[in-house]
Chains A and B, each alone.
Chain A
Amino acid sequence: MDLSVTIGRTTMPNPVGVASGTFGYGSEYEQLIDVDSIGALYTKAVTRAARPGNEIPRIVETTAGLLNSIGLANVGQERFVTEKYPSLRERACTVIVNVAGDVEDDYVETVEFLEEHAPLSGYELNVSCPNVKAGGLAIGTNPELVEHVTTRVRSVTERPVIVKLTPNVTDPAEIARAAEAGGADAISCMNTLVGMAIDVKNLRTVLPGKTGGLSGPAVRPIGVALAYRVSRAVEIPLIGIGGIDGPDAALQYLLAGAVAVQVGTANFVDPTVTGRTIDGIRTFMQEHNLQRVGEIASLLR
């Protein structure tokens, strides 16, 4: 049986990755699990300059979900190279750097910079952060801008370029086709959904930035539906994200048409979730006599 998944020129040892922003740079979980057994580690977003992040509080739990407004808090590309890259370089798993910016040039500059100083397995373009004013959603909701930024990033790296979609548009498939046209190797689907929680006692939104990004089990059905629709709209592989907390949820995505998945919020709840998910997928493949992960999707009636 072969659990590996190939995206562009990179092969991940198994289809279960950890989603950007929920796993730091890997070392945070070192005491709890064997980080190298994960299929792919998507880093916290890296930006040109360091960012302190949004006002506090940044997190609030909602029914079966989590609203966050972190705001891309990170040390910036230069300190990423000196502080995070040395340990990431040693990882046995695939390491994809999540890249964010305010304007198109930021994405291109950061990828160029990382190509030179911190080459890892590939890049995930975060054009879908709902918690920053510029960049993020402003780019990810516009097919022309997505195609353009993808084309420019494509021209500065041979490594896989994955475009991370937002569900906050009428037709995510259109954005996916734009990324494909720009030369993306894969689509990550999806980032968080815009949400709001109001404290009725204090008559205020719980998050100072008013809205946040919703993740966790609450968003899973939306993610599975998107994986189903978007994977049929493009030729390139789709990586399914949203509310995955074990084998059942991951298999829903793989049956819907995803070739791999990312586990986000569930890492906070149960750090062993990725291991359980990989084991569950392996058992499922044995039960159905499958040789490759890619065959799972064909089982859906």
Chain B
Amino acid sequence: MYAYNPLLLRIGVPGLLLYTRARQLRHVAKDPSNITFFTHTRAAITLLAERLMRHLTPKVLSNSQVSDRYFEMDFEWPHNAPPPSPGSFFTVRVSESEIPLLRRPFAFSGFSRGNSTASMLYERRGTATRQLTTRSPGETIDILAPLGVPFPLPRSETLPVLIAGGIGMGPIFYLAAELHSSGQEAVLIVGARTAGIVPDRTEFQLVETILATDDGSAGCHGTVTDALQNRPDLLDRRLEYFACGPLPMLRAVHQHAKARNECCWVSVEQTMGCAVGACMGCAVRVRGPAEYARVCTEGPVFDSEEIVWT
């Protein structure tokens, strides 16, 4: 049945396999206490994801400020490289010098197979992201991509609710665009401290979008979970959550989903060393005997049931 899936055209066979494989995780593990199953399935998905990784030096096509706080960079996607999927990420070697030393991870905020273009939405925070804002079209960037396990395909009987908080918007926008073009209904909830940091996106026209701001400067006054509580029409349906953003938001979404006994996928963040699974640096606490999982290769997307929420 997947042969006819329009997603196949965009993300390729390995991407789709990752998507569907991750999907099975929760399908089969109906009993969330079945930790052994989580552990084994995660290992299988990780092996698949690792095979896609390439060392690439694509050309920057554009790089500009898209809101008060965020920038977006578009770069060429090499034809021979496996396409990214929503939720997967890449690492950039920002400088040839020793400062900053480590590669920095960023999620894909969009991908067009037709134009061979990939995008990242990023916030200027420190040394690395400040240097990134100075990259001009025509220069190349040194990246390892695509990395990590992406968001799975939504289950057919659920309404996917895509929740973005702060700079977690990037991968959620990409997921929204992808679901739209495969004809899947979805609802997008975008949370931000204030209206000025939210970029203007075409996804807002494609998918029903609810905006929530902490200061009430636009959309619903409150957090993303407040915004959801204001929509009894949505709450009447069987939902599935796809979230990326600050830890308190992810925790709130997880708790909301758990209370309703619904499935929730979260993309989590951790400081990375190698980003290829070798150093055990990017650990996040998970249930089960291993205690920790690596965000770079076993994540960044996890079933929220797997995470130990502190």
Q: A residues bordering B, Cβ < 8 Å? A: 21-24, 28-29, 31-32, 44, 52-53, 56-61, 63-66, 68, 70, 73-74, 216-218, 245, 265, 267-272
Contacts and interface: CB of A to CB of B under 8 A. Distances in A.
Contacts of A271: 55, 144, 276
Given A57-B271, A59-B281, 8 more contacts: A21-B280, A22-B278, A56-B285, A57-B270, A65-B101, A70-B280, A70-B281, A216-B101
A28 B276 contact: yes
Contacts of B270: 56-57
B98 A58 contact: no
Contacts of B144: 32, 271
Interface string B275-294: 11111111111000011100
Given A22-B274, A64-B98, A52 B103 contact: no
Interface centre among B54, B280, B291 (most CB of A within 10 A): B280
A53 B292 CA distance: 8
Contact of A31 (B51, B102, B283, B285): B51
A28 B274 contact: yes
Interface of B: 50-55, 93, 98-103, 144, 270-285, 290-292
19 contacts: A21-B279, A28-B274, A28-B277, A28-B278, A44-B280, A52-B292, A56-B270, A58-B271, A60-B271, A64-B99, A66-B102, A68-B281, A265-B101, A267-B274, A268-B102, A269-B101, A269-B102, A271-B144, A271-B276
Output the residue of A44, A56, A265 with the most chain B CB within 10 A.
A56
Contacts of A32: 53-55, 144, 276
A147 to B, nearest CB: 31
Most buried by A among B51, B52, B273, B285: B273
A213 to B, nearest CB: 12
B39 to A, nearest CB: 12
Nearest to A25: B278
Contact of B50 (A21, A28, A245): A28
B293 to A, nearest CB: 11
A60 B285 CA distance: 18
Nearest to A23: B278
Nearest to A83: B43
A207 B200 CA distance: 38
A66 B278 contact: no
B140 to A, nearest CB: 15
A249 B154 CA distance: 50
B100 A61 contact: yes
Contacts of B283: 53, 56, 58, 73
Nearest to A71: B280
Contacts of B292: 52-53, 56, 73
Contacts of A272: 55
Given A32-B55, A269-B93, A66 B276 contact: no
A280 B290 CA distance: 41
Contacts of B281: 58-59, 68, 70
B134 to A, nearest CB: 20
- 6 tightest A-B contacts by CB? A24-B278, A52-B291, A64-B98, A28-B278, A59-B281, A73-B280
Contacts of A31: 50-54
A66 B291 CA distance: 24
Contacts of A63: 99
A299 to B, nearest CB: 26
A22 B279 contact: yes
B139 to A, nearest CB: 18
A190 B204 CA distance: 54
A268 B271 contact: no
Nearest to B98: A64
Nearest to B276: A28
Contacts of B101: 61, 64-66, 216-217, 265, 269
A12 B273 CA distance: 27
Given A70-B280, A70-B281, A59 B103 contact: no
Contacts of A245: 98
Contacts of B278: 22-24, 28-29, 44, 267
Given A52-B292, A216-B98, A272-B55, A59 B276 contact: no
Contact of A61 (B53, B55, B102, B279): B102
Contacts of B52: 31
Contacts of B103: 268-269
